[in-house]
Structure 1
Amino acid sequence: MEQNTDNQKPAASSQPHGALDGPDHPTRDAGFGIYVHWPFCAAKCPYCDFNSHVRHKPVDQARFLAAFKTEIAHFAARTPDRRVTSIFFGGGTPSLMDPETIAGILDAIHWHWPVDPGAEITMEANPQSVEAGRFKAYRKAGVNRLSLGVQALNDADLKFLGRLHNVEEATNAIAIARDTFPRLSFDLIYARPNQSVAAWRDELNRALEYAADHLSLYQLTIEPETPFWALQDAGKLVVPNQDEAAELYRATQTICEEAGLPAYETSNHAAPGAQSRHNLIYWRYGEYVGVGPGAHGRLVGANGTSRFATATERNPERWLSLVESHGHGTITDDELLAEEQGDEFLVMGLRLHEGIDMARYQALSGRRIDPRRVEDLLTHKMIERLAPRTSGSNSEDRVRATRDGAMVLDAVVADLAI
């Protein structure tokens, strides 16, 4: 679909691919988000397996902005009658985008969908001074939540992780962000080589002194086809073993709880009301559009019950060419089976402290979890049943992973999904 150039908003088709004129999808109330992927980075971190690319010539941002607008129009035609509750600029390094590019993409989103007045608009950023100086321009463009990729609070480990900033730049960026944006989160990576629990406690407590109301704390995982994978395979990189990693995880939960930022998801901690609304759409298995190179989406179909998994071309230049020639860069657009929807719902929802509603699983998957498996996991304290939340005549049967269950979540999901 070509970008609309009329002075009127494009009219919705009478039978668009993504209309919700049938029964509501069981997770529609989880929200509707837009994910925008900016695939470029100044350098590729050795642990990163995200779709990020380094280009040694300036990126033609005007051309990419035009392509983003075109692809947004394409997905808007599939998803009429939606109200945007969150927008997330991820990457890559979105803070390498000009503020004018961010503003242009936000204008296009507002053009095609109604956007909640209080919608969360997040941008990921790196802490280098040159980017931190542009924070006010991003705020003026419409960004109201910043997610900073700090990753460590000591210079030796920042260098090991391939980061281009030092601790001083990171803490300066945090201070500027706190003064500029209504909401702020930053990331740290733990379970690094030779990292003791005592050292992590000190670092995490220092991070909590800088934190606003949200922290994302990830264990270092060694992903295939990354430089760290090759180093580990050669015996040159050793990370904490499973028991050591578990101890670090438990310390993380305890320290953050005591500081008033308990985990609301396996790796994310927030003060009450400060959770990432956009990421909650993923974890609650809501609906979201993914635009840009390598972006993924989950769209509810026209009948209100089917669900489509979309993905766009990963290579930025090929994506650009596809959008310019076909109106979008989609290379995957698969209708998910009911069983696949149920499995995804389990994988995402059991990461949440609020857990999952078993009735929703049944509505998505068309099947009931074997009560004997539930009882077995309850007995072994891998999951726990929550007190029912009653609304009118409806009562939810909710379960969640325990702290021990969260550390072996894949096995818990596999047990429930059989």
Structure 2
Amino acid sequence: MADALALYVHWPFCVSKCPYCDFNSHVRAAVDQPAWRDALIADLRHEAMETGRRRLGSVFFGGGTPSLMPSATVAAVLAEAEALWGFASDIEITLEANPSSVEAARFGDLAAAGVNRVSLGLQALDDAALRFLGRAHDVAEGLAALDTAQAAFDRVSFDLIYARPGQPLAAWLTELERALAFGTEHLSLYQLTIEPGTRFATEAAAGRLTLPDGDAGADLFEATRGALTAAGLPAYEVSNHARPGAESRHNLTYWRYRDYAGVGPGAHGRRGGVATMRRRKPENWLAAVVRNGHGIEAADRLTPAERVTEALVMGLRLAEGVDLARIAMVGEQPIARLIDLGMVDRLAALGLVAIDDRRLTVTEGGMPVLDAILREVVAKAVAA
């Protein structure tokens, strides 16, 4: 389904401020739902004019708290998207959700509106860790939401955050064993990172928060991949694990550098070599849609070198790696002009990458140092 398009719908509103994002301005007590529904549909129509009629292979509702979107809004957006593009017969329609009892109570309505996959932000199976992460739910509420999700949706994923301060390897493996016992088809497992401008960054700068060092983080990473592989959910991307066939089709669109349309405040898109960015502040986006029929702030045509860089940065995250013929097509030059093959050979000799006539992949041994590998491999593409 290489010709399929993906659609990302960004719902920006949060119900509370979390400590590791900058969505303060997106907290709202009330939202004018009819106005927002109409604006999202207008934004969809603009994207459809730009992309032409291409089947949608996936739809993803993300952003602030999309599980609090009225099911009528979700249904209206999906109906319009299907009318504009058409749906693949096996379309994947995912919605991000917080694991609260309020949101879980709406899962049945969201499933009836057309959502067939949910990504649940559990984040930890430890109450102290959830308090540290600033989550409003506790473990009991989160697991109750997971149970409701598994009853309502065909496909369920949830995420956990590890490499938390003071987290021993043995404790994390016990938490993973518990997570695997719930039998979901997909798990997203992220190492805790500190983003600038967040509470965590302030705490770290003051010396009140220390994450595991490089060796400890690598041990956690390797043990995680080993445990998930043994359980039948191998890593198909650096942080994502799934039973074969249960990978997130929408996220694979990003990582395989295929086209996707993005609508809603702050949404990004890639279509036909053009990078789109919607206005980020909700009211500014809404005003732009009313004024222009869309919320686009920028639509920039990417150079071949920029496209190759993005394709490598995204694709080398995948266990399958990148198709070299496609990289050459995207970059409009022979592969030797886009990738430092001498450097690749040196990395291969170290067991960090593998290359043949068709594909370049990062090995299991290379994944813990993926960022360093990307700096070496992408350097020539940037200069091309």
Query: Across the two proteins, how many residue pairs are aligned to each other?
Result: 375
Identify which of 176, 179, 184 aligns with 2:151.
Answer: 179
> 1:180-195 counterparts in 2 under 5 A?
180-195=152-167
CA distance in 2, matches of 1:251, 1:269: 13
Which residue in the other structure is 1:103 paired with? 75
Q: Deviations over 1:182-234 (max 9, x none)?
A: 10000101111111111100001101111411000011110011111111111
Structure 2 residue corresponding to 1:166, chosen from 132, 135, 138:
138
How many angstroms does 1:382 deviate by?
1.4
Aligned counterparts, 1:2-401, within 5 A: 29=2, 31-49=4-22, 53-300=25-272, 307-367=273-333, 368=335, 369-385=339-355, 397-401=358-362
Cα deviation, 1:107-160, whole Å, max 9, x if unaligned, reads 111121111121000000011111111111000000000100000001111111
The TM-score, its normalising length taken from structure 2, stands at 0.95
Task: Give the secondary-structure state (helix, strand or coil) at the position aligned to 1:210.
Answer: coil
More helix by share: 2
Distance apart, 1:403 and its partner CA:
2.3
Task: Give SS of 2:2's match.
Answer: helix
Amino acid at match of 1:401: V
Aligned residue for 1:236, secondary structure, equals: coil
2-structure distance, mates of 1:156, 1:269: 25
Change (3 A) 1:30 1:111: closer
Provide, for residues 276-331 of structure 1, a one-character-per-residue CA deviation record: whole Å limited to 9, x for no partner: 0000000000000000000000001xxxxxx0000101111111111111111111
Distance 2:247 2:202 in 1: 36
2:120–2:158 Cα contact (<8 Å) kept: yes
Name the CA distance, whole Å, in 2 between partners of 1:69 and 1:54: 20
Return 51-60 or 99-108, whichever deviates more: 51-60
Contact 1:135 1:177 in 2 (8 A): yes
SS in 2 for 1:43: coil
Q: Structure 1 pair 309/52, CA: closer, same or farther in 2 (3 Å)?
A: farther
| Percent of residue pairs bearing the same amino acid type | 50
Structure 2: give runs of 5+ residues left out of the alignment.
Answer: none
Give 2:344's aligned amino acid.
V
How far apart in 2 are the matches of 1:291 and 1:132? 25
Q: For the residues of structure 1 that align with 2:183 and 2:95, how far apart are their CA atoms?
A: 17
What is the DSSP-based 3-state SS (H/G/I as helix, E as strand, rest coil) of the residue aligned with 1:250? helix
The TM-score, its normalising length taken from structure 1, stands at: 0.87
Q: Deviations over 1:246-286 (max 9, x none)?
A: 11100110010011000000000000100000000000000
Give the residue type in structure 2 aligned to 1:41: C
> 2:363 matched to which residue of 1?
402
Instruction: Give the drift of 1:30.
Output: 6.4
Moved more, 363-372 or 259-268: 363-372
Higher relative contact order (CA 8 A, sep 6+): 1
Counterpart CA distance in 1 for 2:161 and 2:365 is: 20
Instruction: Calculate the aligned-residue CA RMSD, in Å.
Output: 1.4
**Partner deviation per Cα, 1:329-384 (whole Å, 9 max, x = no partner):** 11111100000111111001000011111111111113322321221110111112
Relative to structure 1, the CA distance from residue 52 to residue 36 in structure 2 (aligned partners, 3 Å threshold; closer, same or farther) is farther
- Secondary structure in 1 aligned to 2:150? helix
